[in-house]
Amino acid sequence: MITRWLVALLFFAGLVVVWYLVVKAQIWSPLLLPSPLSVLDYLRAAAQDGTLWEATLVTVRRLLIGYGLGLLAGLPLGLLTASSRWCHDTIGILALGLQTLPSVCWVPLALLWFGQTEAAMLFVVVMGTLWSLIIATDNGVRTIPPIYSRAARSMGSTGLHTWTHVVLPAALPFLLSGMKQGWAFAWRSLMAAEIFVTILTGFGLGHLLHYGRELNAMDQVIGVMLVIVVIGLAVDKTLFAPIEQFLHRRWGTARA
Amino acid sequence: MLTAEHLPTHSRAAKLVLEHVSKWFRTSSLNVHALDDVTLRIAEGEFVCLVGPSGCGKSTLLNIIAGLERPDRGIVQADGQAIIAAGPQRLMMFQEAALFPWLTVLSNVLFGLKLSSGLSAGERRDQAEYFLELVGLKRFMHSNIHELSGGMKQRVALARALAPNPSVLLMDEPFGALDALTREQLYGDIQRIWTQHRKTIVFVTHNVREAVCLGDRVILFSPHPGRIREEFAIPLPRPRDINSVELARYATEITRVLKGYVQPEVAG
């Protein structure tokens, strides 16, 4: 376990060293490729004056609300499309179609409908999450071997009991990967929305990124990108990894 | 709705009656006549084996007895009551381990118990442990399903099927996927358990020796459409050894008859 951590640590330290050496070699202008140290300086300054924390908070709050709404609607709709042919032929096809739409394409529509408001942000996140979640849930439930339901029925399980005690737990590995995908989509949509939509109710990480470009502040651009990556990783490791590990232990699937 | 599972325990006269049962499976391109006019009576505590080549409808018949499928024609009764739904009175054990991988061994056995009995949590637990002990797997009750071998999985499936105290146990080629040695151990186990608990067992297999080793009666099916062709009583004393000469004699005879039904199909 410790060696695995060590290997990961060495790898990323190595990346930073390579970055540093490339900057030292002065191949590109420092305006285009700032050194790791100046990025660190920016992050320290932004953390001290609070802009970084505030932006992170605003972004994460939007993300959680939007993702939560997406889950709340997506999971039941996915179960619905999996259990009823009518729903599959209607909502299922709608979801399949809209899922192919890159989430940034929702931004113009959201702006016209909601103006430069928080609602526009959430709308883009929900649209980015919902459809892929519906499809992942639907696929998950359909992939369950029918023998589970038959065995449960033979033991006297019916209706709601079968859903809560057999179908949902059996679909859990698929639901989880759907939720992970949904999370990644939510993250992408929100960043797209924040970069394109300037609103006054909250200044998120996407905005910091956008203004980094406007001000030609490459240290800010790279610094914020790093923060976005770190948040994504942290969520994966704290939110999804424990559930995944539990699933691997129980199901006996390959260990990550 | 009054189903068999709500009947009081004193009326568990576990006797199965099938009269003129027919079943078709219709798809857009096919119309398969799975069962044709099957009539069969099974006494309480009897161990009956249904034997026949694949496609003879024996598994379909088992599903109908379980209440997982409805016949298109004919009468199916358990304890004099029409079978209209599946329930823990007649538990089914499948060829592939249909154990739930998201539950531990113990929780798998508890699944059916929670659904069927008015027992307290403690009593359910005792019951589950008793049956795990019976199949020799109490040590593994906290294991995950994927940690078990194929034979152990089928033992857990057996414990899970026995735990809710069904009056009828339906077994659909439960040992088909196991190696010969494991299978022989399980023949011993199932005979011991049957002698102790006297369940009514309907056992589907295409292995004639297996049928002769386990059954009081062996019922021979022929395919297309599935029909009962012949019945053999097996009066051998128990416990039976699948490798005994006596048993082989019965098996040879039955196999000879079975081939007579299958060959014309192949030739035609």
Contacts of A170 in chain B (CB under 8 A): 100-102
A38-251: CATH number: 1.10.3720.10
Number of residues in chain B: 268
B25 contacts chain A (CB < 8 A): no
Higher pLDDT among residues B56 and B267, named by residue: B56
Residues B137, B70: one domain?
no
Residue of A143, A147, A148, A154 to mutate, testing the B interface (most B Cβ within 10 Å of its Cβ): A154
What's the distance, CA A127 to chain centroid? 13
Angle between helices A168-196 and A106-114 (to 10 degrees): 70
Interface of B with A in 89-118 (CB under 8 A): 90-92, 94, 96, 98, 100-103, 111-112, 115-116
What residues contact residue A9 under an 8 Å CB cut-off, 6+ apart? none
- Do the Cβ atoms of B163 and B112 come closer than 8 Å? yes
Residues B11, B79: one domain?
yes
Nearest to B100 by CA among A157, A254, A134: A157
CA-based nearest distance A58→chain B, Å: 38
Residue type at position A127? M
Q: Tell me whether residue B79 is in a domain.
A: yes
Identify whether A36 is preceded by a cis peptide bond (ω within 30 of 0): no
Our count of domains for chain B comes to 2
* Domains in chain A: boundaries: 38-251
Residues B153, B180: one domain?
no
Of B5, B144, B170, the CB nearest to A249: B144
Residue B2, pLDDT > 70, answer: no
- State mean pLDDT over A194-222: 87
A172 contacts chain B (CB < 8 A): yes
Q: If DSSP states are collapsed to H, E and C, what string results for A86-153?
A: HHHHHHHHHHHHHHCCCHHHHHHHHHHHHCCCHHHHHHHHHHHHHHHHHHHHHHHHHHCCHHHHHHHH
- Do the Cβ atoms of B68 and B86 come closer than 8 Å? yes
Are A250 and B144 a contacting pair at CB < 8 A?
yes
Distance between CA B85 and CA B68 in Å, rounded?
7
Contacts of B170 in chain A (CB under 8 A): 154
Residues B184, B149: one domain?
no
What residues contact residue B49 under an 8 Å CB cut-off, 6+ apart? B203, B204, B205, B210, B211, B212, B214, B215, B217, B218, B219
Question: 3-state DSSP call for residue B91?
Answer: strand
Residues B190, B75: one domain?
yes
Of B86, B144, B146, the CB nearest to A154: B86
Residues B112, B133: one domain?
yes
Distance between CA B258 and CA B21 in Å, rounded?
22
CA-based nearest distance B212→chain A, Å: 27
A161 contacts chain B (CB < 8 A): yes
For chain B, what percent of residues have pLDDT higher than 90? 54
Q: Tell me whether residue B137 is in a domain.
A: yes
pLDDT of residue B263: 59
Domain boundary among B111, B138, B165: B165
Distance between CA A210 and CA B241 in Å, rounded?
80
Domain boundary among B165, B183, B205: B165
pLDDT digits (tens, 9 = 90+) for A118-146: 899 999 999 989 998 999 889 888 888 88
Residues B144, B176: one domain?
no
CA-based nearest distance A244→chain B, Å: 13
Of B96, B103, B147, the CB nearest to A147: B96
A65 contacts chain B (CB < 8 A): no
Q: Tell me whether residue B94 is in a domain.
A: no
Are B164 and A252 a contacting pair at CB < 8 A?
no
What stretch of H or E contains B217? strand B217-222
Residues B14, B84: one domain?
yes
Beta bridge partners of B171: B93, B203
Are B68 and A147 a contacting pair at CB < 8 A?
no
Distance between CA A41 and CA A22 in Å, rounded?
19
Question: 3-state DSSP call for residue B17?
Answer: strand
Residues B37, B65: one domain?
yes
The pTM score is 0.78
pLDDT digits (tens, 9 = 90+) for B200-251: 999 999 899 999 999 999 999 988 888 999 999 999 998 899 999 999 999 9
Angle B138-B142-B145 from CA coordinates, rounded to 5°: 95
Are B112 and A155 a contacting pair at CB < 8 A?
yes
Query: Per the structure block, which two tokens stand in for A224?
Result: 């914020």
Residues B172, B246: one domain?
yes
- State mean pLDDT over B47-53: 92
Residues B249, B186: one domain?
yes
- State mean pLDDT over B72-96: 88
Beta bridge partners of B170: B92, B202
pLDDT digits (tens, 9 = 90+) for B149-201: 988 999 999 999 999 889 899 999 998 888 888 889 889 989 998 988 888 99
Q: State the residue for tokens 């923060």.
A: A227
Supply the range of the domain harboring residue B85.
4-89+166-267
What stretch of H or E contains B231? strand B227-233
Distance between CA B1 and CA B3 in Å, rounded?
6
- Do the Cβ atoms of A34 and A219 come closer than 8 Å? yes
Instruction: Read off the DSSP letter of residue B136.
Output: T
Interface of B with A in 44-73 (CB under 8 A): 66, 68
- Band (pLDDT 50/70/90 cuts) for residue B81 is confident
A83 contacts chain B (CB < 8 A): no
Q: Tell me whether residue B71 is in a domain.
A: yes
Average pLDDT, chain B: 86
What residues contact residue A113 under an 8 Å CB cut-off, 6+ apart? A120, A123
Of B102, B103, B115, the CB nearest to A155: B115
Its sign, for the CA torsion A225, A226, A227, A230, is positive
pLDDT of residue A102: 87
**Which CATH number belongs to the domain containing residue B66 in this structure?**
3.40.50.300
Distance between CA A243 and CA A121 in Å, rounded?
29
CA-based nearest distance A169→chain B, Å: 7
Question: 3-state DSSP call for residue B141?
Answer: coil
- Do the Cβ atoms of B47 and B214 come closer than 8 Å? yes
Cα→Cα distances A85→A88, A98, A113, A196, Å: 5, 19, 33, 39
Closest-approach residue (CA) in chain A for B161: A155
ipTM of the prediction greater than 0.95, yes or no: no
Domain boundary among B165, B189, B206: B165
Residues B51, B159: one domain?
no
Interface of B with A in 113-152 (CB under 8 A): 115-116, 144-147
- Do the Cβ atoms of A111 and A52 come closer than 8 Å? no
Question: 3-state DSSP call for residue B146?
Answer: helix
- A and B: number of Cβ contacts within 8 A: 65
- Band (pLDDT 50/70/90 cuts) for residue B85 is confident
For chain A, what percent of residues have pLDDT higher than 90? 40
